[in-house]
């Protein structure tokens, strides 16, 4: 008996757990939080839950929400097909390294509201660097374009990224690289604070929200990083020939600056399938691919997805199998 108690205390410390004092619902979460990374969190059991949302709160005076989003029901097959309410939380490089708390709000079918909160944890710094980039006339023209066409493109772009479909679980594994061969290299890294210098002497600044792959010939294959549904495929003023693929509810990969598009909006793509070719269209200084990972309003580090699955099934399975909770909501 004593050994079981020690084990459960250790599991709680490793995984994070918060029990609401007036309910049977428990909140569990992966405890490694850093800029550019992702958190897997879930509530169990799920019986009586109508819907659920989360807020990732910086513990400053205003308790600033650095990310918000929805959860969705998810069945963990290797844990006796138990159903959980899963939350995929993205931590942007723009979220300051500080203390945070994850807050989950449950709306129950009987109309009650339940709020669960994690422990207070530190978000580690990604130690991002600064970069100065000399832009040409093409780049200055793209960034200064305020046409109605650009505004219409922006509406379609954010409408695509605003899609949240709970059943859209196409591929939640670790990402493959979007390029092949030995000649490619990174030309600009996620999280870099960039300053652009234009031909007329003006300057602008931004945060780099993805990874840039260079060193490849124009037309070289750009490959889907995972299975998914194409939700946008068009030539845009700023990002050039662009493809957006949805892999999970609210989670997407984005491919910019290509020389053309080889997929169609509304169709499925497979991991490793060509979606376009390396190009230099839109706001670009030369041939490269820009890859972004986007989760419910937050751009996260593609490197996190190259190294970790989107949904950590082994963690979910091990944790659920260890819980001394009846199989309710499964």
- Residue 72's domain is classified under what CATH number? 2.60.40.2550
Looking at the domain assignment, is residue 147 inside a domain? yes
Looking at the domain assignment, is residue 110 inside a domain? yes
Is 165 in the same domain as 192?
yes
Give Cα 321 to chain centroid, integer Å: 27
Q: How far apart are CA 213 and CA 279, in angstroms?
A: 11
Query: Do residues 195 and 119 touch, judged by C-beta distance below 8 A?
Result: no
3-state secondary structure 125-187: CCCCCEEEEECCHHHHHHHHCCCHHHHHHHHHHHHHHCCCCCCCCCCCCCCCCCCCCCCCEEE
> Which of 274, 269, 179 has its CA nearest to residue 226?
269
Report the range of poorest mean pLDDT among 69-83, 114-128, 137-151, 216-230.
137-151
Is 151 in the same domain as 293?
yes
Task: Output the pLDDT for position 135.
Answer: 66
pLDDT-derived band at 140, boundaries 50, 70, 90: low
Looking at the domain assignment, is residue 267 inside a domain? yes
Q: How far apart are CA 213 and CA 289, in angstroms?
A: 5
Task: Output the pLDDT for position 155.
Answer: 97
Say if residue 24's pLDDT is above 90: no
Query: Do residues 51 and 60 touch, judged by C-beta distance below 8 A?
Result: no
Is 185 in the same domain as 134?
yes
Q: Which domain holds residue 27?
A: 2-127
Is 100 in the same domain as 226?
no
Helix H or strand E encompassing 253: strand 251-258
């Amino acid at each position: 008996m004593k050994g079981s108690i020690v084990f459960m205390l250790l599991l709680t410390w490793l995984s994070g757990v918060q029990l609401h004092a007036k309910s049977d619902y428990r909140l569990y979460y992966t405890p490694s939080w850093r800029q550019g990374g992702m958190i897997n969190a879930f509530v169990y059991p799920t019986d009586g839950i109508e819907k659920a949302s989360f807020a990732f709160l910086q513990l400053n005076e205003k308790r600033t929400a650095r990310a918000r989003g929805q959860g969705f029901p998810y069945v963990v097959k290797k844990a006796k097909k138990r159903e959980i309410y899963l939350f995929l939380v993205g931590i942007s490089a723009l979220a300051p390294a500080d203390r945070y708390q994850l807050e989950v709000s449950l709306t129950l079918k009987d109309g009650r509201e339940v709020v669960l909160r994690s422990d207070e944890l530190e978000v580690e710094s990604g130690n991002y660097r600064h970069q100065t980039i000399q832009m040409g006339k093409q780049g200055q023209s793209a960034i200064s374009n305020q046409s109605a066409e650009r505004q219409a493109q922006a509406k379609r772009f954010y409408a695509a990224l605003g899609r949240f479909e709970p059943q859209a679980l196409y591929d939640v594994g670790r990402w493959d690289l979007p390029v092949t061969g030995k000649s490619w290299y990174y030309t600009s890294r996620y999280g870099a604070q960039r300053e652009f210098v234009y031909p007329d002497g003006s300057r602008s600044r931004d945060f780099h929200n993805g990874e840039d792959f260079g060193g490849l010939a124009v037309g070289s294959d750009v490959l889907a990083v995972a299975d998914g549904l194409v939700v946008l495929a068009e030539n845009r003023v700023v990002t050039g020939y662009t493809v957006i693929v949805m892999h999970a509810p609210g989670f997407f990969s984005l491919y910019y600056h290509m020389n053309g598009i080889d997929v169609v909006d509304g169709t499925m793509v497979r991991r490793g399938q060509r979606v376009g070719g390396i190009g230099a269209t839109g706001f670009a200084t030369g041939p490269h691919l820009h890859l972004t990972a986007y989760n419910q309003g937050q751009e996260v580090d593609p490197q996190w997805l190259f190294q970790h699955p989107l949904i950590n099934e082994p963690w979910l399975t091990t944790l659920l199998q260890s819980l001394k909770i009846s199989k309710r909501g499964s």
